[in-house]
Amino acid sequence: MAQSLNTNFLLLLMVLKYIFFSIHTSLILVCFFDIYFYPQITFLQFLSILSWYINNNNCILTQLEYYFFNETLIDFYNRLRGREVTHSFYVPKYHRYTIYSFFLIRLIYNDPHFRSALFNLYVLFF
């Protein structure tokens, strides 16, 4: 009976881990690819940028994954690819700069006041 409960608990924990990994992957993909379709994604990008700034360029979701499941999405991916598992929470510079640029593009595209202010600066200096 006790072994059955332990097995069920481990199975539930594994299912929760894969659900969390799926949500994390979905958020990454949404922040990268849905900026042209849904302007609300700008808020998610802003939250990501703010959390990286507060957390010294570390991903809070990755830290939560490691805290609860002792494995991160990056570790899971590296294990599937046969690479070394590193337990890194650091967001690479090229990922951050991509989100920064998408966020800026969305601000320019979506906000007419921001767009007119940039145009005025352009006219003033060029």
pLDDT digits (tens, 9 = 90+) for 55-64: 999 999 999 9
* pTM of the complete model: 0.76
Long-range residue pairs from 44-49, CB within 8 A, at least 24 positions apart, any chain: 45/99, 45/102, 45/103, 45/106, 46/103, 48/99, 49/96, 49/99, 49/100, 49/103
CA atoms of 18 and 22, how far apart (whole Å): 6
Domain count within the chain:
1
Report the percent of the chain where pLDDT is more than 90: 28
Q: What pLDDT shows up at residue 57?
A: 92
Q: What pLDDT shows up at residue 88?
A: 79
Whether the predicted pLDDT of 92 surpasses 80? yes
For residue range 34-68, list pLDDT tens digits in order.
766 677 778 888 889 999 999 999 999 999 999 99
CA atoms of 110 and 108, how far apart (whole Å): 6
Domain hosting 49: range is: 2-125
